[in-house]
Structure 1
Amino acid sequence: MAGKSFDMIVIGAGPGGYVAAIRGAQLGLKVAVVEREHLGGICLNWGCIPTKALLRSAEVFHLMHRAKEFGLKADGIGYDLPAVVKRSRAVAGQLSGGIGHLLKKNKVTVVMGEARLAGRGTVAVKTDKGEETLSAKNIVLATGARARELPGLEADGDLVWTYKHALQPARMPKKLLVIGSGAIGIEFASFYNTLGAETTVVEVMDRILPVEDAEISAFAKKQFVKQGMTIMEKTMVKQLDRGKGKVTAHIETGGKIETRDFDTVISAVGIVGNVEGLGLEAAGVKIDRTHVVTDEFCRTGVEGLYAIGDIAGAPWLAHKASHEGVMVAELIAGQHAHPIKPGSIAGCTYCHPQVASVGLTEAKAKEAGHEVRVGRFPFIGNGKAIALGEPEGMVKTVFDAKTGELLGAHMVGAEVTEMIQGYVIGRQLETTEVELMQTVFPHPTLSEMMHESVLDAFGRVIHM
């Protein structure tokens, strides 16, 4: 393949890279994608997908314990951790295989190996067979990110785990410490806590799920505490002393340090971009705190070089990466592309209860100078939620009081990760409260709470 030339080379086959490659091929470009590990990237193999499979097992286990409530009988309830993990890996494997099929179907050339930029329009790939050179006028960096490791809190796979160890545990933790309460930390805390681990979550910010609306964070925290979790906010883990089968954590809250013993620690303190070894500096690419600096069209400022997904910075979400991949492929193919509005990208956390949001929180809307109208509706007022046995939750909407623009929506409760999409479409269509109020929501559904929350913001709520 020496000197093989393409219209577009994509480095990385995660949800950004493989989608960019497929869209490019659909538009008639000759495309190559280089991947060093797994098609589907972290999201599909070690992130979004396998964690959802684990969390589904935990949810079913939780429901089995509630059988009596539903008039059902279930005896001798238990779980087989290796079987739970095996199912999760099988789900990831099935989808990863599917990506290979899609790339082949779209005639995308797949090169397995490690890529680096080797001059303008040239990519050198280190494969098992040696080095190959590929060339293209357009190169898309989609190399993603990895877990941030804090000094002294590094993972060892035995006592201290990253998300990868937590996805295929060699044993069930008894006393678990989770450092960080973003989506990854809270999802693992939720999974292991449901399966019976005594779980403590430490968050350095003043509340857990710090990017969410403060009211939603507070509601979720109350539920987690009810489920037996210990939540420590405005708290830092200063050091970990590793012993035989146990870790002593030095935990600082309000200037006081205490020590606590755990048998397992999961570190989930953010991510760093995979920018090393790619030859970016030599190419003249600007890097800011491990992320490639781009404009709204994902252009790096170096001609013909784009960066998409996690390597290009926040929000670090698979669906953002995929959308950017499509946009960049369309730009390269000479089409008219629209930049992505970060405020219209939803965030979803699959803990129990689920959390989902889009747009501005109430506090951020006020900070931005909006006079706001806020509506809320509780799950307890919804027939479907009660029938499901899921009466804990709320839907909150934030509107501009003058224009009626939907500024943000925030939810906590059963299946909110599926419902948030209604508000995402609303924002994309630049809706106001009038259209949302006039929309007929089907009954009985959880989605009716979205309607009621809007009505509440304007003093017209019916069921509360």
Structure 2
Amino acid sequence: MADKYDVIVLGSGPGGYVAAIRCAQLGLKTAIVERELLGGICLNWGCIPTKALLRSAEILHYAQHAKDYGLKIAGEIEADLDAVVKRSRGVAKQLNQGVTHLMKKNKIAVHMGEGTLTGPTSLTVKGDKGEEKLTAKHIIVATGARARDLPFAKADGKRVWTYRHAMTPKEMPKKLLVIGSGAIGIEFASFYNDMGCDVTVVEMLDRIVPVEDKDVSAFLEKSLSKQGMTIMTGAGVEDLKVSDKGVKAKIKDSKGKVTETEFSHCITAIGIVPNTEDIGLDKLADMEKGFIQIDDYGRTKSKGLWAIGDCTPGPWLAHKASHEGVTTAEAIAKELGNKDVHPHPLDRNNIPGCTYCHPQIASVGLTEAKAKEAGHEVKAGTFPFIGNGKAIALGEAEGFVKTVFDAKTGELLGAHMVGAEVTEMIQGFVVGKTLETTEAELMQTVFPHPTISESMHESVLASYGRALHI
């Protein structure tokens, strides 16, 4: 006889486990199905452990530049790769245990195993307990995504890596090729560069981090090049020959010239593939390039079947998945008769993006170019960190904040940052956009001194020709 629930969540990543918790908070009998580790890719192999790695690289960088701060460190500064990776895995384990605790605290049933839909409101789980049959009034698919392989050189974990291999390297690459300059590619390029590796980044488009504002892309390329990284834009890897000793890559540059270069290792960061095959979605949901098509609340075309996170249209970010999880949980509770919940559809224009390279980048909303393409008359302003006292005191004077406004209404259309701690600062503009703020409110907001966040205020002033410190 099948176990019956109000809601079953298939997948326990940041979308799935948050959805399950919110369902439980709303009094729904909830279960979660997970085939590998609670917390999914983000907690175990993505967002969090990569930040632990990057933190180690950051500390190494500061130690190597101690004299810039009037400090002397005796002896040679070097990285212990095994210890760095061990620390990262320890952080991931701690968070995995935290999710396990949250499941128990919220009385969420956990079924470990491979879940397959047998209908919009039923599934089977194959695991250590054999085959279990589960049914629910509603099912949320939160199966996430995985790294896309190169068609001519699949990742083998030895010489050709995905992000997952790059997090637990068996050896330090001597010469590393990174294919793709999105968030994942640039973060690993930055990490291995700081760790002392010779890094080359190849990007097919005409600039790195191409979803960002072009001013951010230009600044980051200049900064990474200054750090010793080789950046090739408008370029492509046409072939990759893998051997026990390394990889030989045929790279066509922006002028059409093809050269063959040897590397010890290669990281492919060319996008993701949704985990939607072989889980019983046939005829239950509309699909586009493998991604489940949903409405603004997570509904699929089948009544009772919902989807959230990286297996649905982007942006493919953990915080977007978590927000979707709450929205969908509340929409389900409303359908089940809860009159006290009022779910709101997701506004994709208010989802921030953060990349934890060195220097960091962060953004929300429209770039200046996208704002103009959308028909806005634009006012945009930039304030450099070199005009900010706290940034200078910290020795972090490289960077800027850029804001984009609608010239007619004063609406904040977008904000774009590069530099120290901008991934923490961006939330100020996210709150502003969510509250539909204009330049007037932002100009009247008092920012504490001395903080790097004062650059946010100055960028707003600069958009209207009123910057005080440049």
TM-score grouping bracket, smaller chain normalisation? over 0.9
Displacement of 1:120 after TM fit?
3.7
Aligned AA for 2:390? K
What is the aligned partner in structure 2 of residue 136 from structure 1? 136
Displacement of 1:277 after TM fit?
1.2
User: 1:53-89 CA distances to partner (integer Å, 9 max, x unpaired)?
Assistant: 0000000000001111111111311111000000000
Q: Does residue 379 in structure 1 map to residue 385 in structure 2? A: yes
C-alpha distance in structure 1 between counterparts of 2:120 and 2:383, whole Å: 55
What is the aligned partner in structure 2 of residue 73 from structure 1? 72
User: 1:391-444 CA distances to partner (integer Å, 9 max, x unpaired)?
Assistant: 100000000000000000000000000000000000000000000000000000
What is the aligned partner in structure 2 of residue 339 from structure 1? 345
What is the aligned partner in structure 2 of residue 173 from structure 1? 173
What is the aligned partner in structure 2 of residue 392 from structure 1? 398
What is the aligned partner in structure 2 of residue 32 from structure 1? 31
What is the aligned partner in structure 2 of residue 112 from structure 1? 112
What is the aligned partner in structure 2 of residue 277 from structure 1? 278
Mapping of 1:53-452 within 5 angstroms? 53-75=52-74, 76-253=76-253, 254-283=255-284, 285-334=285-334, 335-452=341-458
User: 1:217-256 CA distances to partner (integer Å, 9 max, x unpaired)?
Assistant: 0000000000000000011111111123121101112332
- Please tell me whether the aligned partners of residues 153 and 267 of structure 1 are also in contact (alpha carbons under 8 angstroms): no
Aligned AA for 2:386? I
Displacement of 1:121 after TM fit?
1.5
Displacement of 1:129 after TM fit?
2.0
**Matched position secondary structure for 1:328:** helix
What is the aligned partner in structure 2 of residue 41 from structure 1? 40
C-alpha distance in structure 1 between counterparts of 2:315 and 2:238, whole Å: 27
- Between the two proteins, what is the percent identity of the paired residues? 65
Q: 1:454 aligns with which of 460, 464, 467?
A: 460
- Please tell me whether the aligned partners of residues 147 and 272 of structure 1 are also in contact (alpha carbons under 8 angstroms): yes
C-alpha distance in structure 2 between counterparts of 1:402 and 1:257, whole Å: 49
Judge which range, 294-303 or 401-410, deviates more: 294-303
User: 1:23-81 CA distances to partner (integer Å, 9 max, x unpaired)?
Assistant: 00000000000000010000000000000000000000000011111111113111110
- Please tell me whether the aligned partners of residues 12 and 40 of structure 2 are also in contact (alpha carbons under 8 angstroms): yes
RMSD: 0.7
- Please tell me whether the aligned partners of residues 179 and 201 of structure 2 are also in contact (alpha carbons under 8 angstroms): yes
- Please tell me whether the aligned partners of residues 147 and 273 of structure 2 are also in contact (alpha carbons under 8 angstroms): yes
**Matched position secondary structure for 1:281:** coil
**Matched position secondary structure for 1:300:** coil
C-alpha distance in structure 1 between counterparts of 2:348 and 2:386, whole Å: 32
- Please tell me whether the aligned partners of residues 176 and 266 of structure 2 are also in contact (alpha carbons under 8 angstroms): yes
**Matched position secondary structure for 2:403:** strand
Aligned AA for 1:380? I
User: 1:371-402 CA distances to partner (integer Å, 9 max, x unpaired)?
Assistant: 00001000000000001000100000000000
**Matched position secondary structure for 2:282:** helix
C-alpha distance in structure 2 between counterparts of 1:133 and 1:14, whole Å: 22
Aligned AA for 1:159? R
C-alpha distance in structure 2 between counterparts of 1:255 and 1:229, whole Å: 21
Q: Does residue 14 in structure 1 map to residue 13 in structure 2? A: yes
- Please tell me whether the aligned partners of residues 117 and 280 of structure 1 are also in contact (alpha carbons under 8 angstroms): yes
**Matched position secondary structure for 1:391:** coil
C-alpha distance in structure 2 between counterparts of 1:27 and 1:448, whole Å: 40
C-alpha distance in structure 1 between counterparts of 2:84 and 2:417, whole Å: 28
What is the aligned partner in structure 1 of residue 4 from structure 2? 5
**Matched position secondary structure for 1:385:** helix
C-alpha distance in structure 1 between counterparts of 2:453 and 2:377, whole Å: 26
C-alpha distance in structure 2 between counterparts of 1:296 and 1:174, whole Å: 46
- Gaps spanning 5+ residues in structure 1: where? none
**Structure-1-length-normalised TM-score:** 0.99
C-alpha distance in structure 2 between counterparts of 1:282 and 1:411, whole Å: 43
Runs of 4+ in 1 over 6 A off after TM superposition: none
Displacement of 1:153 after TM fit?
2.4
What is the aligned partner in structure 1 of residue 338 from structure 2? none
Judge which range, 379-388 or 74-83, deviates more: 74-83
- Gaps spanning 5+ residues in structure 2: where? 335-340
- Please tell me whether the aligned partners of residues 120 and 139 of structure 2 are also in contact (alpha carbons under 8 angstroms): no
C-alpha distance in structure 2 between counterparts of 1:16 and 1:344, whole Å: 17
- Please tell me whether the aligned partners of residues 382 and 446 of structure 1 are also in contact (alpha carbons under 8 angstroms): yes
